[in-house]
Amino acid sequence: MPAFTATAPGKIILFGEHAVVYGQPAIAVPVRQVQARAVVQALPGEKAGRVHIQAPAIQVDARLEDLPPGHPLPATVSETLKELQIERLPACSIRITSTIPVAAGLGSGAAVSVALIRALSAFLGCPLPDERVSAVAYEIEKLHHGTPSGIDNTVITYARPVYFVRQQTLQTLALPAPFTLVIADTGVPSPTSLAVGDVRRLWQAQRGYYDPLFEAIGGLARAARHALESGQPELLGRLMDANHTLLQQLTVSSPELDRLVSAARKAGASGAKLSGGGRGGNMIALVGADRAPAVSAALLDAGAVRTIITQVAP
Ligand code: PMV
């Protein structure tokens, strides 16, 4: 029996997190050094509907029906079946593995969904096109946190740099000049839903203060798009620094993130900011390729638990 395997990369948000939930543009890029993988294999001789699922990273080794209601893995299976208008899975085993750190702003949840939707739909003989994969993954994102912008499922499904505006058609970004980022993990897990919920409460209480912050962040994302498309990624550093300040004002930075951001700048990064939901998780620093190892070492010295050096290219 052949196994059906699919993978999906991690992602990082360069500009516009949080403001993107409120209609502002954001820019995100895939991170291919980390990925989620799903493998689906038929279990011949077993009854239809018998599904065994393993996801060692989150201690899952169970029959699908025994997972608690609302668990994202059975939800992904049932949303995929719904999309394909198939009532029940043939007996099969599903194995999910991932090298993407969980709750760290690298898109682990969306990447698992995308890999699983692809492997399952291929196993069922009707591989879904990217547009549908992203739409099904978006339904699962809503379970992780109620008001996702859709940026994670989009950048991860298409595995291309994207300029994302909520509810608008996909815009991929051409990047004439590649650039290097150091991504550093504070090691503080931070579920996106909490930060997004807190920002929503603050915004509801004081729209007059928070709307201009969102607009200013949107302005930075637009300026960053221009810098990228005109082949001037060196201009991103200043924009990242400004975006980090605005994210601090949104209350989503943390002492650990601020420490890593200033350590990166001191070590020669041309700009740095938190990335993703904030409060913990990852930050990013823009570096000249030759400075990347030194900035990475400085980030580890300043308390990062892991760094990834990644080249962003078209
Ligand atoms: O924490 P992450 O990388 O999954 O990013 C969340 C980005 C937010 O803008 C905070 C939320 C969203 O749905 O866009």
Chosen CATH of 4-171 out of 3.30.230.10, 3.40.190.10, 3.40.47.10, 3.40.50.720: 3.30.230.10
CATH H-level, domain 174-312: superfamily: GHMP kinase, C-terminal domain (3.30.70.890)
Instruction: Answer yes or no: is the C-beta of 277 below 6 A from any ligand 1 atom.
Output: yes
Residue 146 confidence (pLDDT) above 80: no
Q: What percent of the chain is predicted at pLDDT more than 70?
A: 100
Told to judge if 301 belongs to the known catalytic residues of this protein, a careful annotator would answer no
Active-site residue, from 66, 130, 152, 290: 152
> What separation in Å is there between the alpha carbon of 107 and the centre of ligand 1?
8
> 27, 163, 192, 251: which to mutate for ligand 1, most atoms within 8 A of CB?
192
Residue 1, pLDDT score: 65
**pTM listed for this prediction:** 0.93
Q: What is the pLDDT of residue 157?
A: 97
Residue type, 46: E
With both helix axes pointing from N to C terminus, report the angle between 236-249 and 207-229 in degrees, rounded to the nearest 10. Answer: 160
**Ligand 1 mean position, distance from CA 82 (Å):** 26
141 CA closest ligand 1 atom index: 13
pLDDT of residue 147: 80
Quick one: which H or E segment has residue 310? strand 306-312
Q: What letter would DSSP give residue 280?
A: S
For residue 168, what are its two tokens? Answer: 């608008």
Domain range annotation of the chain: 4-171, 174-312
* % of the chain residues with pLDDT over 90: 84
pLDDT in tens, 269-314: 999 999 999 999 999 999 999 999 999 999 999 999 999 999 998 7
Q: 46 falls in which pLDDT band (50, 70, 90)?
A: confident
171-204 residue pLDDT tens: 999 888 999 999 999 999 888 888 999 999 999 9
Of 15, 17, 141, the residue with max ligand 1 atoms within 8 A of its CB, to mutate for a pocket test, comes to: 17
CA distances from residue 4 to 75, 116, 124, 131, 137 in whole angstroms, order as listed: 19, 10, 10, 20, 18
